[in-house]
Amino acid sequence: MALLTVIGRGVRVRGRIQGEGDLTIEGHVEGEISVSGALTVDPAGLVGANINARVIVVRGAVRGDLTADDVVRLEEGARVVGDVHAPRIAIAKGALVRGLVQTGAAGTTASRGKTQEKAVPAARPASPPASAARRPVAAAPPVAPKPAAAPAARPAPSAAPQTKPAARLAPPSVLAGTAPATAKTPPPPVVPALKKGAKAALKKKAT
Amino acid sequence: MASTVIGAGITIEGEISADEELVVQGTVRGKVDAREGVTIEAGATVEADITAGPLTVAGSVIGNISSTDRVDLQAGGRVIGNVKATRITIADGAQFKGNVDMDV
């Protein structure tokens, strides 16, 4: 009993609560909470604070980050908006959570989480361009040989639909140079691959 | 037992407003605003202006006290600050420095 602290239902605390021992919150607390023991937020409790404790048990409402050295337990009726870091985390059925939930040693997870958050966005932008760059290389060769066969294949409608998706996949870099040409001719994939002068040659043949 | 207890190991910096009994065993800095009784136990430290109902001080208070009821300063208790209350008792062995206003 000596080190037990209770913030009762009719009590509102604005500021910082810190120290040793266990803390039970049935009232309102706004600010910051840091205790060495267990912190319990009762169903009637309303907390708008970042919480640091060894054990955190939530049955009420918390807006703020929860960081525990041992375990965080979100029980039925818990409403948490904020990040949760602890070596062990339990979320019961009926508990609501919105935020980043991460298990791992409390001290290291904070830094790990940050580095991961930084690393992931960095990696994501890097990889899509790489794959995008690969795709056109792979897509271009199939398109290139077709024009030779295309004049003969024109009557067959199936050839055009097949080539269309290829053209869509082909990134702007491929279309950019030949965009006006594709716009002029209805079967778009046939034209871009034509060499300069090839059109003239075809016209000559036609005439 | 009072429903709100600030335990011995705990420090609160800020504002406490209570509609119920409040017992302080730890440390409070800032402001205490209570409608019901407040007990500051031996070993507790309160550096705050206190508004309360009946107030019992066995610990240390630095700040002005305003009570709608009585203030009991018990032996071993220490108050530095002005006290405004309808009734006041200061026990033998208590330390007190400040003005007393009793609404005479």
Each residue's pLDDT tens digit, A115-168: 344 333 444 444 444 444 444 444 444 444 444 444 444 444 444 444 444 444
Find chain A residues with C-beta within 8 A of B52's C-beta.
Answer: none
The beta-carbon neighbor of A2 closest among B8, B20, B21 is: B8
CB contact under 8 A, B3 and A31: no
Q: Name chain A contacts of B36, Cβ cutoff 8 Å.
A: 10
What is chain A's length?
Answer: 207
Q: What is the pLDDT, as a whole number, of residue A205?
A: 73
Q: How far apart are CA B38 and CA B52, in angstroms?
A: 6
With a CB-CB cutoff of 8 Å, which residues 139-168 of chain A face chain B? none
Query: Which of B8, B11, B22 has its CB closest to that of A3?
Result: B8
Q: What string of DSSP letters covers chain B?
A: --SEEE-TTEEEEEEEEESS-EEESSEEEEEEEESS-EEE-TT-EEEEEEEESSEEESSEEES-EEESSEEEE-TT-EEES-EE-SEEEE-TT-EEES-EE---
Using the Cβ of A47 and the Cβ atoms of chain B, whether some distance falls under 8 Å is answered with: no
State the first-to-last Cα distance of chain B, in angstroms, to the nearest integer.
34
pLDDT tens, residue by residue, B12-53: 999 999 999 999 999 999 999 999 999 999 999 999 999 999
What is the pTM (predicted TM-score) of this model?
Answer: 0.64
Closest CA to A42 of A2, A6, A93: A6
pLDDT score at A132: 43
The partner residue sitting opposite B12, judged by closest CB among A8, A17, A20, is A17
